[in-house]
Chains A and B, each alone.
Chain A
Amino acid sequence: MTPARLMPFLLAALPASALAQDSANPVAPSAQGDVSVTIYNNDLALVQDVRQLSIPGGVTRIEFPDVSAQIRPETLSFAAPDTAIIEQNFDFDLLSPAKLMEKAVGQTVTIVRTNPATGAETREQAKVLAVNGGVVLQIGSRIEVLRDDGLPVRVIFDKVPPNLRARPTLSVTVDSGRAGTRPASIRYLTPGLGWSADYVALFDRKAGKIDVQGWVTLTNATGTTYTAAKTLLVAGEANASGGQGYRSGPYRAQPPVLRRAGTETANREQLGDFYLYPIAARTTIANQQTKQVSFLDVQGVPARAGYEYRVGWLDSADQPQSAKSMVSFSTSGSGGLGDALPAGTVRFYMKDAAGASQFIGENAIGHTPMGSELALATGDAFDVKVKPVVEKRERLSSTRWRTTMRYELTNARKEAVTVDLTQAGLDFWNDDTRIVSESIVSKRVNSDSTRWTVPVPGNGGATVTAVFDTRY
Chain B
Amino acid sequence: MRRIWAILIVTCAGLATPSYAQVTVISEKPDAISVTAYRDPDRGAGGIDARYPQGYALISETRTVRVPAGDAVIRFEGVADGMIAVSAVVTGLPGKVAQKNRDARLLSPAALLDGSLGNRVHFRRTDPATGRVTEEDVTVRSASANALVVETAGGFEGLQCSGLPEGLSYNTVPADLSARPTFSVSVSSPAAATAQVTLTYLANGFDWGANYVARVAEDGRTLDLFAWLTVANGNSVSFPEAELLAVAGKPSVKSNFRQLMTVPEDFTLAIRCWPLPSYDAPLPPPPPPPAAPMMEGAYDIVVTAQRRSESLMAAPVAVMAVQEELGDLKLYRLPVRVDVNASGQKQVALLEKRNVPFHLYYAADIGSYDYSDEGPHPLLRRIRMENRKDSGLGLPLPSGGTALFEIAGEQPLLVSTGEVRDHAEGETVELQAGDSGQLSYQAEKLEQRGDRARWRLTLTNANARTANAEITLPLAYKLTAKGAKLRRRDGAWLWATQVPGHGTAVLEFQSNAD
Whether the Cβ atoms of B98 and A29 lie closer than 8 Å is: no
Whether the Cβ atoms of B254 and A156 lie closer than 8 Å is: no
Closest to B273 in A: A97
Closest to B118 in A: A25
> Which residues of chain B are within 8 angstroms of A393 by Cβ–Cβ distance?
475-476
| Residues 1-59 of A at the B interface (beta carbon under 8 Å) | 7-15, 22, 24-30
Partner of B127, one of A114, A316, A345, A395: A114
Q: How far is the CA of A134 from the CA of B278 in the complex (A)?
A: 8
Whether the Cβ atoms of B87 and A358 lie closer than 8 Å is: no
Q: How far is the CA of A24 from the CA of B329 in the complex (A)?
A: 57
Whether the Cβ atoms of A158 and B142 lie closer than 8 Å is: no
Partner of A395, one of B16, B176, B327, B514: B514
Q: How far is the CA of A30 from the CA of B154 in the complex (A)?
A: 30
Partner of A145, one of B96, B145, B277: B277
Whether the Cβ atoms of B277 and A147 lie closer than 8 Å is: yes
Q: Given the known A-B contacts A96-B149, A167-B143, are A377 and B252 also in contact in the complex, defined by CB atoms under 8 Å?
A: yes
> Which residues of chain A are within 8 angstroms of B464 by Cβ–Cβ distance?
none
Question: Cβ of A162 < 8 Å from any Cβ of B?
Answer: no
Question: Cβ of A382 < 8 Å from any Cβ of B?
Answer: yes
Closest to A405 in B: B491
Question: Cβ of B34 < 8 Å from any Cβ of A?
Answer: yes
Whether the Cβ atoms of B327 and A205 lie closer than 8 Å is: yes
Whether the Cβ atoms of A11 and B13 lie closer than 8 Å is: yes
Whether the Cβ atoms of B491 and A358 lie closer than 8 Å is: no
Whether the Cβ atoms of B164 and A166 lie closer than 8 Å is: no
Question: Cβ of A464 < 8 Å from any Cβ of B?
Answer: no
Q: Mark A368-411, 1 if CB is under 8 A from B, else 0.
A: 00000000011111111101011111010000000000000010
> Which residues of chain B are within 8 angstroms of A147 by Cβ–Cβ distance?
163, 276-277, 280-281
Minimum distance in angstroms from B376 CB to a CB of chain A: 25
Closest to A198 in B: B86
Whether the Cβ atoms of A97 and B274 lie closer than 8 Å is: yes
> Which residues of chain A are within 8 angstroms of B425 by Cβ–Cβ distance?
383, 412, 459
Whether the Cβ atoms of B13 and A134 lie closer than 8 Å is: no
Q: How far is the CA of A66 from the CA of B209 in the complex (A)?
A: 50
> Which residues of chain A are within 8 angstroms of B119 by Cβ–Cβ distance?
25, 27
Binding-face segment, A72-80, A232-240, A269-277, A318-326:
A318-326
Q: Which of A95, A146, A350 counts the most B-chain CB atoms under 10 A from its CB? A: A95
Q: Mark B68-92, 1 if CB is under 8 A from A, else 0.
A: 0001000000000000011101000
Partner of B426, one of A152, A317, A347, A410: A410
Q: How far is the CA of A326 from the CA of B128 in the complex (A)?
A: 72
Question: Cβ of B463 < 8 Å from any Cβ of A?
Answer: no
Binding-face segment, B228-236, B242-250, B294-302, B498-506:
B242-250
Binding-face segment, A176-184, A259-267, A285-293, A425-433:
A285-293
Q: How far is the CA of A24 from the CA of B119 in the complex (A)?
A: 9
Question: Cβ of B492 < 8 Å from any Cβ of A?
Answer: yes
Q: How far is the CA of A249 from the CA of B200 in the complex (A)?
A: 28
> Which residues of chain B are within 8 angstroms of A134 by Cβ–Cβ distance?
275-278, 280
Whether the Cβ atoms of B251 and A247 lie closer than 8 Å is: no
Q: Given the known A-B contacts A283-B99, A379-B328, are A150 and B491 also in contact in the complex, defined by CB atoms under 8 Å?
A: no
Whether the Cβ atoms of A27 and B115 lie closer than 8 Å is: yes
Whether the Cβ atoms of B326 and A288 lie closer than 8 Å is: no
Minimum distance in angstroms from B313 CB to a CB of chain A: 26
Question: Cβ of B28 < 8 Å from any Cβ of A?
Answer: no
Binding-face segment, B258-266, B345-353, B408-416:
B258-266
Q: Given the known A-B contacts A13-B15, A147-B281, A380-B249, are A114 and B164 also in contact in the complex, defined by CB atoms under 8 Å?
A: yes
Whether the Cβ atoms of B157 and A156 lie closer than 8 Å is: yes
Q: Given the known A-B contacts A294-B97, A318-B490, are A150 and B280 also in contact in the complex, defined by CB atoms under 8 Å?
A: yes
Whether the Cβ atoms of B60 and A166 lie closer than 8 Å is: no
> Which residues of chain A are within 8 angstroms of B249 by Cβ–Cβ distance?
322, 379-382
Whether the Cβ atoms of B278 and A133 lie closer than 8 Å is: yes
Q: Mark B133-162, 1 if CB is under 8 A from A, else 0.
A: 000000001110111110110111111011
> Which residues of chain A are within 8 angstroms of B256 by Cβ–Cβ distance?
245-247
Q: Given the known A-B contacts A96-B142, A347-B87, are A156 and B327 also in contact in the complex, defined by CB atoms under 8 Å?
A: no
Whether the Cβ atoms of B147 and A30 lie closer than 8 Å is: no
Question: Cβ of A357 < 8 Å from any Cβ of B?
Answer: yes
Interface size on A, as a range, is 35 or more
Q: Which of A14, A148, A225, A356 counts the most B-chain CB atoms under 10 A from its CB? A: A356
Q: How far is the CA of A209 from the CA of B161 in the complex (A)?
A: 68
Q: How far is the CA of A133 from the CA of B274 in the complex (A)?
A: 9
Partner of B118, one of A28, A117, A318, A360: A28
Binding-face segment, A98-106, A328-336, A438-446, A447-455:
A98-106
Whether the Cβ atoms of B127 and A119 lie closer than 8 Å is: yes
Partner of A116, one of B22, B128, B202, B250: B128
Whether the Cβ atoms of B426 and A148 lie closer than 8 Å is: no
Whether the Cβ atoms of B99 and A291 lie closer than 8 Å is: yes
Binding-face segment, B102-110, B213-221, B451-459:
B102-110
Question: Cβ of A361 < 8 Å from any Cβ of B?
Answer: yes
Q: How far is the CA of A28 from the CA of B139 in the complex (A)?
A: 14
> Which residues of chain A are within 8 angstroms of B273 by Cβ–Cβ distance?
97-98
Q: Given the known A-B contacts A12-B19, A159-B156, are A152 and B490 also in contact in the complex, defined by CB atoms under 8 Å?
A: no
Question: Cβ of A435 < 8 Å from any Cβ of B?
Answer: no
| Residues 266-285 of B at the A interface (beta carbon under 8 Å) | 272-281
Whether the Cβ atoms of B141 and A290 lie closer than 8 Å is: no
Whether the Cβ atoms of A27 and B118 lie closer than 8 Å is: yes
Whether the Cβ atoms of B490 and A389 lie closer than 8 Å is: yes
Minimum distance in angstroms from A462 CB to a CB of chain B: 13
Question: Cβ of B372 < 8 Å from any Cβ of A?
Answer: no
> Which residues of chain A are within 8 angstroms of B103 by Cβ–Cβ distance?
286, 288-289
Q: How far is the CA of A15 from the CA of B97 in the complex (A)?
A: 27
| Residues 60-91 of A at the B interface (beta carbon under 8 Å) | none
Closest to A384 in B: B328
> Which residues of chain B are within 8 angstroms of A157 by Cβ–Cβ distance?
155-157
Whether the Cβ atoms of B155 and A94 lie closer than 8 Å is: no
Q: Given the known A-B contacts A362-B252, A378-B252, A385-B424, are A357 and B105 also in contact in the complex, defined by CB atoms under 8 Å?
A: no
| Residues 354-410 of B at the A interface (beta carbon under 8 Å) | 396
Q: How far is the CA of A213 from the CA of B96 in the complex (A)?
A: 12
Partner of B488, one of A215, A391, A410: A391
Q: Mark B464-480, 1 if CB is under 8 A from A, else 0.
A: 00000000000110000
Question: Cβ of A423 < 8 Å from any Cβ of B?
Answer: no
| Residues 168-224 of B at the A interface (beta carbon under 8 Å) | 174, 176, 186, 188, 200, 202
Q: How far is the CA of A8 from the CA of B71 in the complex (A)?
A: 11
Question: Cβ of B239 < 8 Å from any Cβ of A?
Answer: no
Question: Cβ of B42 < 8 Å from any Cβ of A?
Answer: yes
Q: How far is the CA of A412 from the CA of B263 in the complex (A)?
A: 43
Partner of A10, one of B20, B38, B85, B157: B20
Whether the Cβ atoms of B163 and A9 lie closer than 8 Å is: no
Minimum distance in angstroms from B350 CB to a CB of chain A: 15
Closest to A346 in B: B254
Whether the Cβ atoms of B163 and A152 lie closer than 8 Å is: yes
Whether the Cβ atoms of B247 and A358 lie closer than 8 Å is: yes
Q: How far is the CA of A137 from the CA of B455 in the complex (A)?
A: 92
Q: How far is the CA of A58 from the CA of B250 in the complex (A)?
A: 69
Q: Which 7 A-B pairs have the closest CB atoms?
A: A97-B158, A25-B118, A361-B251, A316-B491, A96-B146, A101-B274, A152-B163
Can you offer 27 A-B residue contacts whose CB atoms are under 8 A? A9-B99, A12-B17, A13-B19, A29-B14, A94-B145, A97-B147, A97-B274, A100-B149, A100-B156, A101-B158, A110-B154, A114-B129, A153-B162, A156-B155, A247-B254, A283-B99, A286-B103, A294-B96, A305-B328, A358-B247, A361-B252, A362-B254, A379-B249, A382-B422, A383-B425, A390-B491, A410-B424
Given contact pairs A30-B15, A160-B141, A389-B490, a sample of 5 additional A-B residue pairs in the complex whose CB atoms are under 8 Å apart: A12-B19, A96-B272, A167-B117, A288-B263, A410-B424
Task: Please list the residues of chain A having a beta carbon within 8 angstroms of any beta carbon in chain B.
Answer: 7-15, 22, 24-30, 94-102, 110, 112, 114-119, 131-135, 145-148, 150-160, 166-167, 198, 200, 203, 205, 213, 215, 217, 221, 225, 227-228, 245-247, 249, 283-284, 286-294, 305, 316-320, 322, 325, 345, 347, 349-350, 352-354, 356-364, 377-385, 387, 389-393, 395, 410, 412-413, 459, 461
